[in-house]
């Protein structure tokens, strides 16, 4: 069995390499974010499991895989992955799930609640959030990611009450970083044991 990491944000993957060695799993890690599709295919062609952070997983790349039976997306979301191409190839995409916050979900929150988003910008309807903050529907919000970055000068959250905005860095902590790494190894263990991934992304119906 072989696991290949296309790119990563950690200083190194020595811990992952040690974990795979203990399990007798061949392991290789690259930094291919800004390389060609041909280079990505070359590095991942014979992998059973591919772990990707920001490398675009296109139909061309998927078609070049000979053995892959699981793609693991490092982190929340999967907007750099062609899910339809994966589904055609019978390859599940495992990811850390996210949840949509909109007018309906905001209306269900207590007026003492605080909303924190450090996952993906589109997970929160920012216009609805600004309205909820200005009306006092919720007490406050801390937002690290927006649907468009950098945001336009007239973004509704700039004038909203009781909101803290940070430049896509507040998600990071030692605990959060290690939790993601541990979850990836857990999914590899499940794959090796013949178990299905826990969270599988689905392509939207046409």
Annotated catalytic residue within 23, 45, 69, 168: 168
Tell me 200's DSSP state: B
Q: Which residue has the tokens 């280079």?
A: 39
Q: Is 149 a catalytic residue?
A: yes
Annotated catalytic residue within 120, 155, 181, 190: 120
Pairing assessment for the beta strands 49-52 and 2-5 based on DSSP bridges: parallel
Per the DSSP assignment, residues forming a β-bridge with 61 are: none
Q: Rounded distance, CA 164 to CA 56, Å?
A: 31
Q: Is 168 a catalytic residue?
A: yes
Q: Is 155 a catalytic residue?
A: no
Cα separation of the two ends of the chain: 35
Query: Would you please indicate which residues are annotated as catalytic (active-site) residues?
Result: 120, 149, 168
């Amino acid at each position: 069995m072989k696991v290949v990491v296309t790119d990563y944000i950690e200083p190194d993957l020595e811990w992952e390499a040690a974990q795979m060695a203990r399990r007798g799993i061949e392991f290789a890690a690259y930094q291919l974010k800004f390389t060609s599709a041909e280079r990505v295919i070359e590095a991942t062609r014979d992998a059973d499991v591919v772990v990707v952070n920001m490398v675009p997983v296109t139909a061309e790349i998927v078609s070049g895989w000979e053995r892959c039976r699981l793609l693991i997306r490092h982190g929340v979301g999967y907007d750099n992955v062609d899910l339809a191409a994966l589904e055609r190839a019978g390859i599940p995409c495992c990811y850390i799930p996210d949840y949509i916050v909109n007018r309906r979900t905001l209306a269900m929150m207590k007026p003492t609640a605080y909303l924190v988003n450090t996952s993906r910008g589109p997970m929160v309807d920012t216009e609805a959030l600004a309205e909820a903050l200005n009306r006092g529907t919720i007490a406050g919000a801390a937002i690290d990611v927006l649907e468009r970055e950098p945001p336009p000068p007239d973004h509704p959250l700039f004038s909203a009450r009781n909101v803290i905005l940070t430049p896509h860095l507040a998600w990071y902590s030692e605990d959060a970083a290690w939790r993601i790494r541990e979850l990836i190894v857990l999914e590899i263990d499940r794959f090796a044991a013949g178990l299905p991934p826990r969270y599988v992304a689905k392509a939207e119906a046409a």
